[in-house]
Amino acid sequence: MQLIINGKSRDFESANLSVADLVSALKLEGKRLAVEWNGEIVPRSRFFETQLSDGDKLEIVGAVGGG
């Protein structure tokens, strides 16, 4: 399936992907991040149960240096 992640389109072989699977596929496991899925925030506690569909838009954000 195709997902739009942080504004860029990416293809995934699996048609069955949860937010947790995606985080792992992107090698972001264990990083402190927040995920927005089609405009809604997905709490970390729901990463496993949230199933993604073709064309979903995701924002994956973290904290960086800033003033």
Question: What number of other Cβ atoms are within 10 A of residue 3's Cβ?
Answer: 19
Q: Which of 1, 4, 5, 20 binds other proteins (CB under 8 A)?
A: 5
Please, what is the minimum distance in Å from the beta carbon of residue 33 to other proteins?
6
How many angstroms separate the CA atoms of 46 and 37, rounded?
12
Q: Which of 36, 38, 51, 55: binder of other proteins (CB under 8 A)?
A: 36
The alpha carbon dihedral of 39, 60, 24, 14 has a sign of positive
Residues 1, 54: contact at Cβ < 8 Å?
A: yes
Q: In angstroms, what is the minimal distance from the CB of 67 to other proteins?
A: 3
Q: Which residues bind other proteins (CB under 8 A)?
A: 5-8, 26-28, 31-36, 41, 43-44, 59-67
